[in-house]
Structure 1
Amino acid sequence: MLGVGVVRTSADAELGDRLVAIERGIEAWLDEHRPECVAVERVFSQHNVRTVMGTAQASAVAMLCAARRGLPVALHTPSEVKAAVTGNGRAEKDQVGAMVTRLLRLDAPPKPADAADALALAICHIWRAPAVNRLQQAHAAARAPRIPVRKVTR
Protein backbone atom coordinates (compact mmCIF):
# COMPACT_ATOMS: atom_id res chain seq x y z
CA MET A 1 0.00 0.00 0.00
CA LEU A 2 1.39 3.34 -1.05
CA GLY A 3 -1.36 5.37 0.53
CA VAL A 4 -5.04 5.61 1.21
CA GLY A 5 -7.34 8.59 1.45
CA VAL A 6 -10.97 9.62 1.43
CA VAL A 7 -12.46 12.67 -0.27
CA ARG A 8 -15.06 14.23 2.02
CA THR A 9 -17.63 16.83 1.05
CA SER A 10 -20.16 18.73 3.12
CA ALA A 11 -23.67 17.30 2.96
CA ASP A 12 -24.91 20.90 2.97
CA ALA A 13 -22.94 21.88 -0.16
CA GLU A 14 -24.60 22.13 -3.56
CA LEU A 15 -24.37 18.96 -5.67
CA GLY A 16 -22.23 20.62 -8.35
CA ASP A 17 -19.78 21.91 -5.73
CA ARG A 18 -19.56 18.46 -4.15
CA LEU A 19 -18.83 16.81 -7.50
CA VAL A 20 -16.12 19.39 -8.26
CA ALA A 21 -14.54 18.73 -4.85
CA ILE A 22 -14.58 14.99 -5.54
CA GLU A 23 -13.04 15.55 -8.98
CA ARG A 24 -10.26 17.72 -7.52
CA GLY A 25 -9.52 15.16 -4.83
CA ILE A 26 -9.36 12.29 -7.32
CA GLU A 27 -7.21 14.29 -9.77
CA ALA A 28 -4.77 15.17 -6.95
CA TRP A 29 -4.62 11.49 -5.97
CA LEU A 30 -4.00 10.41 -9.56
CA ASP A 31 -1.28 13.07 -9.96
CA GLU A 32 0.45 11.92 -6.79
CA HIS A 33 0.27 8.15 -7.27
CA ARG A 34 0.07 7.70 -11.07
CA PRO A 35 -1.81 4.36 -11.05
CA GLU A 36 -1.95 2.01 -14.04
CA CYS A 37 -5.69 1.45 -13.63
CA VAL A 38 -8.63 2.57 -11.52
CA ALA A 39 -11.04 0.25 -9.69
CA VAL A 40 -14.50 1.59 -8.91
CA GLU A 41 -17.32 0.09 -6.89
CA ARG A 42 -20.14 -0.88 -9.25
CA VAL A 43 -23.34 0.84 -8.21
CA PHE A 44 -26.24 -1.49 -7.62
CA SER A 45 -29.86 -0.95 -6.68
CA GLN A 46 -30.36 -0.49 -2.99
CA HIS A 47 -33.44 0.35 -0.98
CA ASN A 48 -32.30 3.96 -0.56
CA VAL A 49 -32.43 5.56 -4.03
CA ARG A 50 -30.82 8.75 -2.70
CA THR A 51 -27.73 6.82 -1.58
CA VAL A 52 -27.54 5.03 -4.95
CA MET A 53 -27.69 8.34 -6.83
CA GLY A 54 -24.92 9.90 -4.76
CA THR A 55 -22.71 6.84 -5.15
CA ALA A 56 -23.39 6.71 -8.89
CA GLN A 57 -22.49 10.37 -9.31
CA ALA A 58 -19.23 10.01 -7.37
CA SER A 59 -18.39 6.82 -9.30
CA ALA A 60 -18.98 8.61 -12.59
CA VAL A 61 -16.55 11.36 -11.55
CA ALA A 62 -13.88 8.74 -10.77
CA MET A 63 -14.45 7.02 -14.12
CA LEU A 64 -14.29 10.36 -15.93
CA CYS A 65 -10.99 11.28 -14.25
CA ALA A 66 -9.54 7.89 -15.24
CA ALA A 67 -10.84 8.15 -18.81
CA ARG A 68 -9.24 11.59 -19.26
CA ARG A 69 -5.89 9.96 -18.53
CA GLY A 70 -6.52 6.91 -20.67
CA LEU A 71 -6.55 4.65 -17.62
CA PRO A 72 -8.58 1.44 -17.73
CA VAL A 73 -11.45 1.27 -15.24
CA ALA A 74 -12.53 -1.94 -13.54
CA LEU A 75 -15.90 -2.20 -11.83
CA HIS A 76 -16.49 -4.56 -8.90
CA THR A 77 -19.71 -5.04 -6.95
CA PRO A 78 -19.68 -4.65 -3.18
CA SER A 79 -20.39 -8.37 -2.77
CA GLU A 80 -17.44 -9.26 -5.05
CA VAL A 81 -15.18 -7.06 -2.95
CA LYS A 82 -16.41 -8.51 0.33
CA ALA A 83 -16.12 -12.07 -0.96
CA ALA A 84 -12.60 -11.48 -2.28
CA VAL A 85 -11.37 -10.04 1.01
CA THR A 86 -13.35 -11.99 3.62
CA GLY A 87 -14.67 -15.03 1.78
CA ASN A 88 -18.23 -13.83 2.46
CA GLY A 89 -20.08 -11.58 0.02
CA ARG A 90 -22.33 -10.38 2.83
CA ALA A 91 -19.57 -9.48 5.29
CA GLU A 92 -20.06 -6.50 7.59
CA LYS A 93 -17.90 -3.37 7.44
CA ASP A 94 -15.94 -4.34 10.55
CA GLN A 95 -15.09 -7.75 9.04
CA VAL A 96 -13.83 -6.07 5.85
CA GLY A 97 -11.74 -3.65 7.92
CA ALA A 98 -10.29 -6.48 9.99
CA MET A 99 -9.32 -8.51 6.91
CA VAL A 100 -7.81 -5.49 5.13
CA THR A 101 -5.75 -4.84 8.28
CA ARG A 102 -4.61 -8.46 8.36
CA LEU A 103 -3.92 -8.79 4.61
CA LEU A 104 -1.90 -5.59 4.45
CA ARG A 105 -0.25 -6.25 7.82
CA LEU A 106 -1.33 -2.91 9.22
CA ASP A 107 -1.07 -2.02 12.90
CA ALA A 108 -4.68 -0.86 13.02
CA PRO A 109 -7.71 -0.81 10.74
CA PRO A 110 -7.65 2.11 8.30
CA LYS A 111 -9.77 5.06 9.37
CA PRO A 112 -12.34 6.08 8.35
CA ALA A 113 -14.14 2.88 7.37
CA ASP A 114 -14.38 4.20 3.80
CA ALA A 115 -10.58 3.97 3.59
CA ALA A 116 -10.78 0.26 4.46
CA ASP A 117 -13.46 -0.15 1.78
CA ALA A 118 -11.19 1.53 -0.79
CA LEU A 119 -8.32 -0.78 0.14
CA ALA A 120 -10.62 -3.80 -0.07
CA LEU A 121 -11.64 -2.69 -3.56
CA ALA A 122 -7.96 -2.44 -4.57
CA ILE A 123 -7.19 -5.88 -3.11
CA CYS A 124 -10.18 -7.38 -4.92
CA HIS A 125 -9.06 -5.87 -8.21
CA ILE A 126 -5.47 -7.05 -7.83
CA TRP A 127 -6.64 -10.58 -7.13
CA ARG A 128 -9.41 -10.71 -9.75
CA ALA A 129 -7.82 -8.78 -12.64
CA PRO A 130 -5.56 -11.58 -13.95
CA ALA A 131 -8.46 -14.04 -14.11
CA VAL A 132 -10.80 -11.48 -15.67
CA ASN A 133 -8.17 -10.57 -18.28
CA ARG A 134 -7.67 -14.24 -19.21
CA LEU A 135 -11.43 -14.71 -19.48
CA GLN A 136 -11.78 -11.63 -21.72
CA GLN A 137 -8.94 -12.88 -23.94
CA ALA A 138 -10.60 -16.28 -24.23
CA HIS A 139 -13.91 -14.68 -25.21
CA ALA A 140 -12.17 -12.47 -27.78
CA ALA A 141 -10.36 -15.47 -29.25
CA ALA A 142 -13.62 -17.40 -29.48
CA ARG A 143 -15.26 -14.51 -31.37
CA ALA A 144 -12.30 -13.96 -33.72
CA PRO A 145 -12.92 -15.05 -37.29
CA ARG A 146 -11.25 -18.31 -38.15
CA ILE A 147 -9.55 -18.46 -41.48
CA PRO A 148 -8.91 -21.98 -42.69
CA VAL A 149 -5.34 -22.52 -43.80
CA ARG A 150 -4.35 -25.41 -45.94
CA LYS A 151 -0.88 -26.31 -46.98
CA VAL A 152 -0.68 -27.60 -50.53
CA THR A 153 2.37 -29.53 -51.64
CA ARG A 154 3.27 -31.15 -54.93
Structure 2
Amino acid sequence: MTIQDIPALNASLNALATVLLTAGFILIKTGHKEAHRKVMISACVVSAVFLVGYVGHKILVRGVHTPFGGEGTIRTVYYVMLFTHIILAMAIAYLVPRTFLLAIKGEFERHKAWAKWTFPIWYYVSITGVLVYFFLYQWWPAARNAPNVESNVNSNVERRKSSG
Protein backbone atom coordinates (compact mmCIF):
# COMPACT_ATOMS: atom_id res chain seq x y z
CA MET A 1 0.00 0.00 0.00
CA THR A 2 1.22 3.48 -0.86
CA ILE A 3 0.21 6.91 0.32
CA GLN A 4 -1.88 7.28 -2.87
CA ASP A 5 -4.04 4.32 -1.79
CA ILE A 6 -5.12 5.86 1.52
CA PRO A 7 -7.89 8.15 0.13
CA ALA A 8 -9.54 5.21 -1.66
CA LEU A 9 -9.29 3.10 1.49
CA ASN A 10 -10.80 5.93 3.53
CA ALA A 11 -13.65 6.31 1.02
CA SER A 12 -14.27 2.56 1.26
CA LEU A 13 -14.43 2.82 5.04
CA ASN A 14 -16.94 5.68 4.75
CA ALA A 15 -19.01 3.62 2.32
CA LEU A 16 -18.95 0.67 4.72
CA ALA A 17 -19.97 2.96 7.58
CA THR A 18 -22.91 4.14 5.45
CA VAL A 19 -24.01 0.54 4.84
CA LEU A 20 -23.69 -0.26 8.55
CA LEU A 21 -25.62 2.87 9.54
CA THR A 22 -28.39 1.94 7.11
CA ALA A 23 -28.52 -1.59 8.52
CA GLY A 24 -28.49 -0.28 12.09
CA PHE A 25 -31.37 2.08 11.36
CA ILE A 26 -33.46 -0.67 9.75
CA LEU A 27 -32.67 -3.09 12.56
CA ILE A 28 -33.76 -0.74 15.35
CA LYS A 29 -36.91 0.29 13.45
CA THR A 30 -37.86 -3.40 13.10
CA GLY A 31 -37.20 -4.17 16.77
CA HIS A 32 -33.94 -6.12 16.42
CA LYS A 33 -32.15 -4.43 19.32
CA GLU A 34 -29.26 -6.89 19.75
CA ALA A 35 -28.46 -6.92 16.02
CA HIS A 36 -28.72 -3.10 16.03
CA ARG A 37 -26.22 -2.93 18.91
CA LYS A 38 -23.70 -5.15 17.08
CA VAL A 39 -24.03 -3.28 13.79
CA MET A 40 -23.70 0.13 15.44
CA ILE A 41 -20.59 -0.98 17.33
CA SER A 42 -19.20 -2.06 13.95
CA ALA A 43 -20.12 1.34 12.47
CA CYS A 44 -18.28 3.07 15.32
CA VAL A 45 -15.19 0.90 14.81
CA VAL A 46 -15.19 1.45 11.04
CA SER A 47 -15.57 5.21 11.52
CA ALA A 48 -12.75 5.24 14.08
CA VAL A 49 -10.48 3.34 11.68
CA PHE A 50 -11.42 5.87 8.98
CA LEU A 51 -10.50 8.74 11.31
CA VAL A 52 -7.09 7.20 12.03
CA GLY A 53 -6.51 6.73 8.28
CA TYR A 54 -7.64 10.27 7.50
CA VAL A 55 -5.45 11.89 10.15
CA GLY A 56 -2.54 9.61 9.22
CA HIS A 57 -2.86 10.62 5.57
CA LYS A 58 -2.95 14.31 6.49
CA ILE A 59 0.21 13.85 8.57
CA LEU A 60 1.96 12.02 5.72
CA VAL A 61 1.12 14.76 3.19
CA ARG A 62 1.98 17.40 5.78
CA GLY A 63 -1.53 18.82 5.79
CA VAL A 64 -1.47 19.81 2.12
CA HIS A 65 -4.92 19.51 0.59
CA THR A 66 -5.72 17.82 -2.71
CA PRO A 67 -6.74 20.46 -5.27
CA PHE A 68 -10.18 20.18 -6.89
CA GLY A 69 -10.14 20.19 -10.69
CA GLY A 70 -13.76 21.08 -11.40
CA GLU A 71 -14.85 24.48 -12.65
CA GLY A 72 -18.02 26.54 -12.74
CA THR A 73 -21.17 25.34 -11.02
CA ILE A 74 -19.70 21.98 -10.02
CA ARG A 75 -16.92 23.81 -8.17
CA THR A 76 -19.53 25.67 -6.13
CA VAL A 77 -21.43 22.43 -5.49
CA TYR A 78 -18.20 20.74 -4.37
CA TYR A 79 -17.17 23.50 -1.96
CA VAL A 80 -20.65 23.78 -0.42
CA MET A 81 -20.66 20.01 0.07
CA LEU A 82 -17.10 20.06 1.46
CA PHE A 83 -17.86 22.92 3.85
CA THR A 84 -20.98 21.24 5.25
CA HIS A 85 -19.12 17.91 5.41
CA ILE A 86 -16.26 19.41 7.44
CA ILE A 87 -18.50 21.32 9.87
CA LEU A 88 -20.78 18.34 10.46
CA ALA A 89 -17.81 15.93 10.74
CA MET A 90 -16.54 18.06 13.61
CA ALA A 91 -19.95 17.73 15.27
CA ILE A 92 -19.91 13.96 14.73
CA ALA A 93 -16.61 13.71 16.60
CA TYR A 94 -18.64 14.65 19.69
CA LEU A 95 -22.11 13.31 18.86
CA VAL A 96 -21.16 9.71 18.05
CA PRO A 97 -19.19 9.00 21.25
CA ARG A 98 -21.86 10.80 23.33
CA THR A 99 -24.72 8.82 21.77
CA PHE A 100 -22.73 5.59 22.01
CA LEU A 101 -21.93 6.19 25.68
CA LEU A 102 -25.60 6.71 26.52
CA ALA A 103 -26.40 3.32 24.99
CA ILE A 104 -23.53 1.65 26.85
CA LYS A 105 -24.83 3.10 30.13
CA GLY A 106 -28.32 1.76 29.37
CA GLU A 107 -29.84 5.24 29.17
CA PHE A 108 -31.90 4.27 26.14
CA GLU A 109 -34.42 7.12 26.20
CA ARG A 110 -31.61 9.68 26.21
CA HIS A 111 -29.70 7.59 23.65
CA LYS A 112 -32.76 7.63 21.38
CA ALA A 113 -33.15 11.41 21.77
CA TRP A 114 -29.49 12.00 20.89
CA ALA A 115 -29.60 9.46 18.04
CA LYS A 116 -32.39 11.45 16.36
CA TRP A 117 -29.74 14.13 15.74
CA THR A 118 -26.63 11.99 15.54
CA PHE A 119 -27.86 9.48 12.96
CA PRO A 120 -28.80 11.86 10.12
CA ILE A 121 -25.67 13.95 10.62
CA TRP A 122 -23.41 10.87 10.75
CA TYR A 123 -25.18 9.46 7.69
CA TYR A 124 -24.69 12.71 5.77
CA VAL A 125 -21.02 12.90 6.75
CA SER A 126 -20.41 9.29 5.69
CA ILE A 127 -22.10 9.76 2.31
CA THR A 128 -20.45 13.10 1.59
CA GLY A 129 -17.09 11.61 2.61
CA VAL A 130 -17.44 9.13 -0.25
CA LEU A 131 -18.60 11.89 -2.60
CA VAL A 132 -15.63 14.11 -1.69
CA TYR A 133 -13.32 11.24 -2.67
CA PHE A 134 -15.06 10.79 -6.04
CA PHE A 135 -15.12 14.54 -6.72
CA LEU A 136 -11.40 14.89 -5.94
CA TYR A 137 -9.90 11.68 -7.29
CA GLN A 138 -12.27 10.23 -9.88
CA TRP A 139 -14.67 12.71 -11.45
CA TRP A 140 -12.79 16.05 -11.35
CA PRO A 141 -9.16 15.44 -10.39
CA ALA A 142 -6.79 18.38 -10.67
CA ALA A 143 -4.75 18.60 -13.88
CA ARG A 144 -2.56 15.55 -14.32
CA ASN A 145 0.54 17.69 -14.87
CA ALA A 146 0.06 19.66 -11.65
CA PRO A 147 2.52 18.94 -8.85
CA ASN A 148 1.39 15.91 -6.89
CA VAL A 149 2.05 16.41 -3.20
CA GLU A 150 1.55 12.72 -2.40
CA SER A 151 4.06 11.63 -5.04
CA ASN A 152 6.56 14.16 -3.74
CA VAL A 153 6.10 12.89 -0.17
CA ASN A 154 6.62 9.29 -1.36
CA SER A 155 9.77 10.35 -3.24
CA ASN A 156 11.14 12.06 -0.13
CA VAL A 157 10.42 8.99 2.00
CA GLU A 158 12.14 6.71 -0.53
CA ARG A 159 15.19 9.02 -0.68
CA ARG A 160 15.49 8.97 3.11
CA LYS A 161 15.30 5.17 3.17
CA SER A 162 18.00 4.78 0.53
CA SER A 163 20.35 7.33 2.11
CA GLY A 164 20.05 6.17 5.53
* Same fold by TM-score greater than 0.5: no
Structure with larger RCO (C-alpha < 8 A, sep 6+):
2
Structure with higher Rg: it is 1
Report the TM-score when normalising by structure 1: 0.31
Structure with the higher strand share, 1 or 2: 1
